[in-house]
Amino acid sequence: MATSLSANQSAPAIATKQEEQKKQQNTPVVIALQQPVIAVQPTAPATTTSPEYAEVAPTELSSNLIQMGAGKLVLVIGSDEFNMTMMTANAGGSLGNMSGKPVIFSFLSPDQPYEAMENAETYTVRFYPANQSQPSVILKCKKLPSQTPMEGQPRMYVGEITQAKVKK
């Protein structure tokens, strides 16, 4: 389509206008919203500071304190509330003794990610009874060496219990 130029317009002026329009179209628009900043103080997790729990010597733990099928066994890696990894030991777990030390055996299903657990030196195990939002048992553990499982088999972690808390 041909366009005619008026006496007031020239070809260079049109080209300059078109370039300006292209620049405006490609220039990002930044809008700054003015909203007040609200400082938030994280609350301490109830599981570590609550008077609902009594500290118990790890050697005094009853072997039936954690009953599989009666709740969930949750492994917690890290102590910072906003930067921790939590996973359910889907394949089970139990309390026991190894070389005279109280331990907990935790089993992860073959399809569960385990890299965080492999890199951890310490972790916490929480047992949540069925339909409960608070754990009945909290165990701080030092990871002990364990065997690499055969392909497709659950991965077992053995933790020496260094601190135990039981709900009152």
Give domain limits for the chain. 53-167
What confidence tens digit (pLDDT) does each residue in 30-43 have? 444 444 444 444 44
What confidence tens digit (pLDDT) does each residue in 50-109 have? 669 999 999 999 888 887 678 889 999 988 878 889 998 988 899 999 999 999 999 999
Residues 6+ apart with CB under 8 A from 44: 81
Which of 82, 94, 92 minimizes the C-alpha distance to 139?
94
CATH superfamily placement of domain 53-167: Electron Transport, Fmn-binding Protein; Chain A (2.30.110.10)
Question: 167: pLDDT confidence band, cut at 50, 70 and 90?
Answer: very high
Q: Compute the radius of gyration of the chain from its Cα atoms.
A: 30
